[in-house]
A and B are shown apart, each in its own frame.
Chain A
């Protein structure tokens, strides 16, 4: 346990350079675009010179880039950075939207898991059968289907034709905040009415966002599982007289290491899919907020969103590393 704690601390320390790197790159991109953010924030063409000056001063825009960056990051970390568009602290705006995005990502992750893993296992067991071909086709369709196209198609089917979903607003939060993610809190306190409302609102966007990942995961599970099944220890297990199900369990556990790696990456990938999904389904999440910020050259907000996405990403990877150690005794902290 002490080992684990040391490992966690060591890994947390590596978060710092990652997060700095990511935010710095984002800032630089925003910095070099040839536009005058101060003018945009002050109201565009009609902005008064005085207002523009004030904004420049407040955001240290006359100083060199590193001073600007330093100002952004430090005031962001202190929670003092004010968004020039909404005049709220940036972190306040983001934290309001964060649960929506996380919930969306969780729903699509669940879809990826419950579709991808069983399909992968079945297509490995029924290798080169019709099911296997179908999964191959499904994976290909998944990666080549644009999120917005599938999104609008399914909105047409489930909203316009059958009226079984709701695509506006945000379902109510449960009465108690424990983790900050509404559906989990609702589950924890047993508020199933709220749970139902959240499922009703999120299942379709979650499915659309997870669609691509599910096919990819299925193919990946299939290949890792087949590879594990062809190992020598599986042959020895057969020679021991072990029944099929037990063989598959051994193979699956061995296949889990690469699968978990891909799942970690996929969770990160989901985040990059949230802007479009949230826009299509009018979910008030961080992704949509990011797009709006980009449109308004609102780079304090852009840097803040990137900062949070980077943290989610590295946390997902940290969880992957911990899972490795749980699965594989050869992995030492």
Chain B
């Protein structure tokens, strides 16, 4: 497996009036070419911030304070996206690494037609010769994301489209330049259940057709089980466990992962009773010392309260950050 994105020791802070929010504190993981990589975790754990930091889409008051994101280009070069000049990074955003955002209603500019916004992505990257070609391509793209009557829909404004339709336009926009990496940040959360399934299927099939790498962010474990190859579990700004989908679902190690799998219907293992994890996500201005999960952990030991657990490999490709698995 060839890596395409290597995130190393990423730290993102938000400088708010209440204090410095240490939203991402030392996140590292690798995404391999062609896979579907899922990033899961409770709300507020830092999934969106991590995904946006990859191409430096962090807005003030946020700042990437440390880390690197190594991107492996098609011709085999390795570049650190966090050190790249803005203009070169812009050439990668939307062309090689594209995003689908959480809320399709808000992602489209209300004052421009859907066709314009799809074409715009190609025009700014010069993947079409002119606006006219861009609009023509936009019609094909809208057809490929299964929008009925695309000749008419290119001229429609966002408010004239349904939520599912808007998300298709967003997906079409993101895929218009055939990106190598597609980062989908909860692409279906804002949509109703039947549309959710369609959108996920669409992303899957487009991924296969273009041979893209997908990074999927979600808190829906059912979705993860269905389409992911590998999974990273995040908790309070850190990755607590990484493994392939079978390892995570069949053999979860971290108490948080186990809790997360119990909290949702697990499609791979039948669970008798759904329980939620007791306690709440910690305040990230003054995160708990040691392991950030220790206040909620049923297996908490003395060491957990004072020292951060290192990442250890429990089986090939399956890593966990928990003192339960570290020989001392």
Partners in one complex: yes
Query: Hey, which bits of chain A sit against chain B, CB under 8 A?
Result: 230-233, 235-243, 246, 250, 253-254, 327-330
CB interface residues, B 67-116, toward A, < 8 Å: 90-95, 98-99, 101, 103, 106-112
When chains A and B are docked, how far (Å) is the Cα of A330 from the Cα of B99?
A: 26
Q: Mind listing 17 A-B residue pairs with CB under 8 Å? A: A233-B106, A236-B99, A236-B101, A236-B107, A236-B170, A238-B57, A239-B55, A239-B98, A240-B120, A241-B91, A241-B125, A242-B94, A242-B121, A243-B124, A253-B111, A329-B111, A329-B157
Select B108's contact among A233, A238, A253, A328, beta carbons within 8 Å: A233
Interface centre among A233, A241, A246, A328 (most CB of B within 10 A): A241
Binding site secondary structure of chain A? helix
B218 within 8 A of A: no
When chains A and B are docked, how far (Å) is the Cα of A235 from the Cα of B93?
A: 12
Interface centre among B94, B109, B125 (most CB of A within 10 A): B109
Complex contact A232–B101 (CB within 8 A): yes
Select A242's contact among B57, B110, B120, beta carbons within 8 Å: B120
Chain A proximity mask over B276-301: 1 for CB below 8 Å, otherwise 0: 00000000000000000000000000
When chains A and B are docked, how far (Å) is the Cα of A241 from the Cα of B125?
A: 8
* CB of B186 to closest CB in A, whole Å: 13
Query: Hey, which bits of chain B sit against chain A, CB under 8 A?
Result: 55, 57, 59, 90-95, 98-99, 101, 103, 106-112, 120-121, 124-125, 157, 159, 170, 173-174
Q: A233-B108, A240-B93 are in contact. List 15 more A-B contacts (CB 8 A).
A: A232-B103, A233-B106, A233-B109, A235-B57, A235-B59, A236-B101, A240-B124, A241-B121, A246-B120, A250-B109, A250-B112, A253-B111, A254-B110, A329-B157, A329-B159
Which 10 A-B pairs rank lowest in CB-CB distance, beginning with the nearest?
Answer: A241-B94, A232-B106, A240-B94, A241-B93, A239-B99, A236-B107, A329-B157, A233-B109, A240-B121, A241-B90
Known: A329-B157, A330-B159. A238 touches B107 (CB 8 A): no
Determine the chain A residues whose CB is within 8 A of the CB of B159 once the complex forms. Answer: 329-330
When chains A and B are docked, how far (Å) is the Cα of A238 from the Cα of B108?
A: 12
Complex contact A231–B106 (CB within 8 A): yes
Closest to B87 in A: A243
Closest to A235 in B: B57
Complex contact A239–B120 (CB within 8 A): no
* CB of B262 to closest CB in A, whole Å: 33
Closest to A253 in B: B111
Complex contact B106–A241 (CB within 8 A): no
Complex contact A241–B101 (CB within 8 A): no
* CB of A38 to closest CB in B, whole Å: 59
Select B110's contact among A237, A238, A239, A330, beta carbons within 8 Å: A330
* CB of A109 to closest CB in B, whole Å: 25
Select A328's contact among B93, B103, B111, B174, beta carbons within 8 Å: B111
Closest to B107 in A: A236
When chains A and B are docked, how far (Å) is the Cα of A166 from the Cα of B103?
A: 60
Determine the chain A residues whose CB is within 8 A of the CB of B55 once the complex forms. Answer: 239
Select A240's contact among B112, B157, B173, beta carbons within 8 Å: B173
* CB of B47 to closest CB in A, whole Å: 15
* CB of B114 to closest CB in A, whole Å: 11
When chains A and B are docked, how far (Å) is the Cα of A253 from the Cα of B110?
A: 10
When chains A and B are docked, how far (Å) is the Cα of A240 from the Cα of B55?
A: 11
Complex contact A241–B109 (CB within 8 A): no
